[in-house]
Structure formats: structure tokens, C-alpha cells
Amino acid sequence: MDSLPCISTGIVISMLKPRSFRSLLPILLFPLFAHSQPLPAPPALAAKAWLLQELPSGQELVSQGANERFEPASLTKLMTAYLIFEAVRQGAIRLDQAVPVSEKAWRTQGSRMFIKVGTQVPVEDLIKGMIVQSGNDASVALAEAIAGSEENFAQMMNRQAQRLGMKDTHFSNASGLPEAQHYATARDLAVLTRALIRDFPGEYAKYYSMKEFLYNGINQPNRNRLLRDPTVDGVKTGHTDAAGYCLIASSKRGERRLLSIVLGTASDAVRTQESLRLLNYGFQSFDAVRLFTKDQPVSNLRVWKGTASTVKAGFTSDFAVSVPKGLSSRLKTELRSRQPLMAPVAAGQVVGTLTLSLDGKPYGDYPVVAIEAVPVAGLFGRMIDTVRLWFN
């Protein structure tokens, strides 16, 4: 598809009093409430849990067991990578910096990069070893380089998980090796993956599509076999006896990009096959429809006691949703605005909610922001609006 189709929608505007208005959340480009209309029948996957979302919006198309806690295995390394990328960006560590390999890192069990104790390995090689080869030894070495110990690094992982809103996740190590208090859910892993791709797009594109990595004379292929598909650009595999075979995949076809999470399959071949089935379902059963372009006003909302009497409300990036094929004409919108909206209003401030319905059934609520600022008026202007509010 060359471009996303656009549809025109008649906006119904509801002005809600503060006491009847639900507290609006910070601007996020994914629905606050899940849709409930009948969907195209999803495939029955041979997995314990799965989830399919649109990127970057996070709109959920289908899920099963997405809130159940599972052992995340090497999917853990997505959080390890997030913190390493952040440390590099902040200058706490350099890509060419040599990291000494501790005995603990060298002895770490499971999949390995095969680094040797007492040697020094550049940070970038450790990143490639962790992502491409899923090296547990590389993960521990990086954790120690950042936090001094893997235990300290695990605390950093949990703090970042809280900041991202991962409500049902707890990390005990940097590699994903089994521990009693090391768990996550498919939905939390989706939050983490979206954040990684959003916050570090360059790093993601550079490392997660690598098909192999040669280190110390040993060439290891990426375990994500979906990378053979040219539409797939990542993301990560995981496996332990308890977790089964897991795969998070990202695929871009035309202008649409989907994120699939499949947990707890019986083999490497099954996780690959079921992930592809889930992605195909999303691309084949839904159409992406652009409702508004970046900075296009959804509406002009009344502002009180400001230098302007209205503010343009909309989205800071193109706003599109996916709907079952052939049903886009049945999509309706309603803008609910918090009133009275008082100046100052900052650009990017949430000022309302766009409610979508499909065939009269809820299809998602999305926060709408001010796309311009409205400063506070002078004394006379504020007095005039005070009087007007008495009669409003």
C-alpha cells in the first residue's frame, strides 16, 4: 500500500464538566480502553499466550493470555538493551569502551557469546553478542559495566519498568535465566518493545535486523528465523524449559507496521510459524485508516481567561486506527472536552478525548492535545471571562 486511506468523519463534540470527566492521561498514541466489537476470527495459535498490536500506536488487534505472568527468558534482554542504549546516549559508557570480562560473566550458563575471563571486549561487540547471539555472558558483562554488579543492574531494570508502566513485570537478572521473581506478561513486553523502538530507533534498526555475528572466530546466526522475511526487522527470541520457545517480531508492509508477541510454544519452528500466522492475520484482516494528519485540528475548543478564546486540538503525529476490512465507513468519532478549559494551555497538553465507535459499539478512546499554546490573558481579559463564566 502506498499510503493510508483517509476517511472524513463528522466530529460530535461533547463538553464535559470537570466532575463528570474522567481524569485524562498524558498523551499516548494508543487506546485507553479496548474495543469490544466483533473482530475477524483470529487464528488459534499453538502457544500459551500471544498479542498483536499496531506500531507505533499500540492499538491491540487480538490477544490471548496477555496479562498472565510468564518467565520471559531472553526477552529480558530487551530491557538490558534499553538501559545500555540509554547509558551510551547519556555518555555514561562509549561504544568503543573496553569492558573487562569478570569470572561471573564468563561462567554464566545458557546461550553465550563466548567471551573469555580476563579479556576486554568493546561495548558494541557485547551489544551485538547480546542481541544477535543472545549471549547471557555479554548481558552480564554489560550490566556490570553500567551498574557495578548484575544485582544493581536488576534494580535499574525494575525502576525503568515502573517508569514505562510495566505493571506485572519484575526482573532479577540481566540475561533472563530462570529465577522465582523474574517474570513478565505479553502486554508488558509489548510496552517495552514499543518503547525500545520509539526511544532508540537508530540503535534498533542497526542491531535487531542483524542476521549473524562473528566473534572470537565463532559465527552465530540470529535465532529469529523470521528475519529471512524481508518485511521483518526484529525483534528477539527467548527460550528456557519453563518458558518454552518465545518470539517478539516486528513486520512492516507498506505503511503499516505490526508487533507480534508469541510465548510458550513447543519449538523454534513452531514459534516462527505461529508468529508469521499472527502477523498475516493482522495484515490481511484489518485496514489502517488515517483519521487526522499531524497538527490537523480535530476541533477548536473554547478557552477561558487566555490571550485567545479558542485552542486547536488534535494530534502531534498522524493519527490512524486499524479497522476490520470493509468497515471503515462505519467508524464514528466523538470529541469530549474538559470544560471550562482555563488558560494557560501548553502545547501538547491533553485537552480532550476522541472516542471512536464502530457499528455503535466502543472502539477506543484516544487523548487529544492542544497543538498550540494559549498564554494567560491580562487582568482585564481575565475579568471579562470571569463575568462570562458566571452566566455560562
Question: How far is it, in rounded angstroms, from Cα 131 to Cα 126?
Answer: 9
Tell me, yes or no, if 74 is annotated catalytic: yes
Tell me, yes or no, if 134 is annotated catalytic: yes
Tell me, yes or no, if 77 is annotated catalytic: yes
Contact assessment for residue 72 and residue 204, using Cβ atoms and an 8 Å cutoff: no
Amino acid occupying residue 277? R
Strand-pairing partners, residue 111, are none
Q: Which of 57, 63, 74, 337 is catalytic?
A: 74
Which cell is 376 given?
A: 494567560
Is the peptide bond between 324 and the residue preceding it cis, with omega within 30 degrees of 0?
Answer: no
Question: In 35-75, at which residue ranges do the beta strands (DSSP E only) sit?
Answer: 49-55, 60-64
Q: Which of 63, 102, 134, 299 is catalytic?
A: 134
Question: How far is it, in rounded angstroms, from Cα 207 to Cα 80?
Answer: 14
Q: Which of 77, 128, 305, 312 is catalytic?
A: 77
Tell me the CA distances in angstroms from 99 to 6, 173, 185, 230, 301, one per residue in order. 51, 19, 32, 34, 55
Amino acid occupying residue 36? S
Question: How far is it, in rounded angstroms, from Cα 143 to Cα 175?
Answer: 9
Q: Which residues are catalytic?
A: 74, 77, 134
